[in-house]
Amino acid sequence: MNQAVQDEPTEALDPTTPGFRTPVDIREGKPFAPGQRMKRILTEAAAVGDATGRTLFSRNREKEALSFDDGKRKRPFIGGYKFEWQPGVANLTGSAMYFFAATGVTPAMDTQIVGEGSAYPWTATDADDNPLDGGKRYQLHLPPDIPVKTFWSVIVYDAQTRPMVRTEARFPSVSRQNSAVQTNPDGPVDVYFGPKAPAGRESGWGQTTPGMWWSIILRLYGPLEPWLKQQWRPDDIVPQP
């Protein structure tokens, strides 16, 4: 943080933002040299902050965090891409939840225009509200006529460190861009997760690692009216025997 403060222009910042770091003596144009007491405080604060962000990410209880009232799927933006309860009033819970998992945001990621931008419903828990376990098997059912103009994908992320999972599989995702992904006879798509692919379902499988907790994002590029009006919704992730 100190390096960013020294390297980046701060003239555009509001007075509150520098106020968060000034009490720990991170100031523009001044060396940062915390004593032992401050080092202990900052070390503990980093752990508490990480735990807080992780909890808000995986267990956010605000109604506005849910994509639908009946499931575990979360929306990435509480209060829009600006994270505001109302214009000029910051939603700090929403921004902390989002930026724990992601690094950037644009207006197009929160558009409500049919066929434009994108949508990112995500979850870190299964249908029983348990964390997604890398050693177990799961299924995600996507009903027919997935409402996208461009394409959809399901990407598996490491819930501990938040990047895409690193496994033997080349890509940690299942996507309509892959022509081998199977569609069921009546139109839906089933996506599978676990250490090993179900027989004959390799193209619709996201590999996970035992001992690792994970999350997914269902990415909808060019979401269509059934999504925007909540007429289409993915099922919750269901544990498999």
For 23-30, what is the mean pLDDT? 92
What's residue 170's pLDDT? 78
Position 192 pLDDT exceeds 70: yes
Q: Where are the domains of the chain?
A: 1-31, 59-240
Tell me: domain 59-240, CATH 1.10.1740.10, correct? Answer: no
Bigger pLDDT: 13 vs 77: 77
For 35-53, what is the mean pLDDT? 94
**CA-CA distance, 29 to 2, in Å (whole number)?**
10
**CA-CA distance, 124 to 72, in Å (whole number)?**
8
- 240 and 141 Cβ atoms separated by less than 8 Å: no
What's residue 194's pLDDT? 96
What's residue 222's pLDDT? 96
Q: How many CA atoms within 13 Å lie on the side-chain side of 163? A: 4
- What digits encode the pLDDT tens for the residues 137-156? 999 999 999 999 999 999 99
Question: Cβ neighbours of residue 132 under 8 Å, at least 6 residues apart?
Answer: 123, 124, 125, 126, 138, 159, 193, 208, 213, 214, 215, 216, 237
If DSSP codes are grouped into helix, strand and coil, which group holds residue 218?
strand
Pairing of strands 189-194, 137-142: antiparallel
- What digits encode the pLDDT tens for the residues 83-117? 999 998 989 889 999 999 888 899 989 888 999 99
Residue 53 gets which letter from DSSP?
A: H
Task: Give the model's confidence band at 118: pLDDT under 50 very low, under 70 low, under 90 confident, else very high.
Answer: very high
Position 223 pLDDT exceeds 90: yes
Task: Give the model's confidence band at 9: pLDDT under 50 very low, under 70 low, under 90 confident, else very high.
Answer: confident
What's residue 70's pLDDT? 66
Give me the sheet containing 205-207, strands edge to edge: 205-207, 189-194, 137-142, 238-240
What's residue 115's pLDDT? 94
**CA-CA distance, 222 to 38, in Å (whole number)?**
48
**Residues facing residue 61 across a β-bridge:** none
CA angle 211, 61, 70 (to 5 degrees): 90
Task: Give the model's confidence band at 38: pLDDT under 50 very low, under 70 low, under 90 confident, else very high.
Answer: very high
- What digits encode the pLDDT tens for the residues 63-77? 888 887 766 788 898
Mean pLDDT of the chain: 91
For 20-40, what is the mean pLDDT? 93
